[in-house]
Amino acid sequence: MNTEEVIFRKEDGVAYVTINREEALNALKSSIMQRLDELFTELEQDDEVVAVVITGAGQKSFVAGADVKEILDAGEGRTALITKGQQIFSKIRNSSKVVLAAINGYALGGGLELALACDIRIASENARFGLPEAKLGLMPGYGGTQMLSRLAGIGAAKWMMFTGNMLGAVEAEQCGLVQKVCSLEGLLEEASGIAKKIAANGPFALKAIKRAINRGIELDLDTALKVELEEYEKVAHSQDAIAGIEAFFAKKSPVFTGK
Ligand code: CO8
């Protein structure tokens, strides 16, 4: 049995990150956050990896939140804990890799915020989504108020945060929080298949698409379209674009270098 708190492996251009603290429903204690921080720093230097899949160990929970006991014990250190957590999730959100969350159960509080920092969310039928912080007299602090409103709309976000109610997988899919729902048994295979499909595309273009969307969504349309053009210009002159177009006419699979 692997006893590491975060299990990491790579295969076919995809990195797999498993939060491995099943006995506490994979709650994010500081050492796990620290490891995520290190891994996403290292991944920036790793040209072999195009996509990353994050999941939780076991069959019950993706991540049931920040570690409530640590929050309690942190006392005056709570603001520092939140600031650090927000920085780590921003690093994941702005990673040059395409990041998928394979949500295998509870995604609550900081766990949902981790999923929101990912680019794509795939959930098993038993997944449950919530930001129950107000029930603890707290509020989401790892980006939840902003990211959920942007993704699922202000109404759904306020409803979830004010009531603390959880959404099921199908409801989460209906409000755009989740892109695909599948069986728990098939979840990793599904996520892995999507990640590999993405990883087979031009890495240079994938990075530019992610930058264009992440930067553009915060801007007015005219400025955002300029961002798209800026990124397009880089992609148009990339080696990957030449390789992709040549392979298309040669009726072969392209060999991309990410340049
Ligand atoms: N932190 C620490 N331990 C946890 C957490 C958590 N978030 N969630 C579950 N656990 C532990 C339980 O204490 C329990 O441990 P033990 O066996 O030692 O008693 C074990 O996991 C199993 O949990 P349950 O027995 O409760 O399992 P149930 O199936 O009965 O219930 C629930 C599952 C509904 C998920 C329930 O565990 C629960 O409500 N958990 C808390 C969920 C929650 O409130 N999450 C939000 C936390 S706050 C947050 O994430 C804020 C982010 C902002 C950062 C702020 C930093 C300062």
Ligand 1 atom 2: residue of nearest CA? 67
Q: According to the model, what pLDDT value does residue 27 have? A: 98
70 catalytic residue (yes or no): no
Sheet holding 180-182, edge to edge: 6-11, 14-19, 51-56, 98-103, 120-124, 180-182
From the alpha carbon of 67, which atom of ligand 1 is closest?
1
Q: Is 3.90.226.10 the CATH classification of the domain at 6-199?
A: yes
Q: According to the model, what pLDDT value does residue 251 have? A: 95
113 catalytic residue (yes or no): yes
Instruction: Retrieve residue 242's tokens.
Output: 């030449």
Ligand 1 mutation pick, 36, 61, 68, 78, max ligand atoms within 8 A of CB: 68
Q: According to the model, what pLDDT value does residue 14 have? A: 98
- Rounded to the nearest whole angstrom, what is the distance from the C-alpha of residue 155 to the centroid of ligand 1? 26
Ligand 1 atom 25: residue of nearest CA? 24
β partners of residue 123? 103, 181
Q: According to the model, what pLDDT value does residue 199 have? A: 96
Domain segments of the chain: what residues? 6-199, 203-250
Distance, in Å, from the CA atom of 231 to the CA atom of 122, rounded to the nearest integer, reads 27
Q: According to the model, what pLDDT value does residue 158 have? A: 98
- Could you say which of 1.10.150.530, 1.10.12.10, 3.30.1330.60, 3.40.50.300 is the CATH number of the domain covering 203-250? 1.10.12.10
Q: According to the model, what pLDDT value does residue 1 have? A: 78
Residue 253, C-beta contacts closer than 8 angstroms, at least 6 positions apart:
247
Each residue of 93-132: b (16+ CB within 10 Å) or e?
bebbbbbbbbbbbbbbbbbbbbbbbbbbbbbbebbbbbbb
- Per-residue pLDDT for the chain (259 aa), expressed as one digit of tens each? 788 999 999 999 999 999 999 999 999 999 999 999 999 999 999 999 999 999 999 999 999 999 999 988 988 888 999 999 999 999 999 999 999 999 999 999 999 999 999 999 999 999 999 999 999 999 999 999 999 999 999 999 999 999 999 999 999 999 999 999 999 999 999 999 999 999 999 999 999 999 999 999 999 999 999 999 999 999 999 999 999 999 999 999 999 999 9
pTM beyond 0.95:
yes
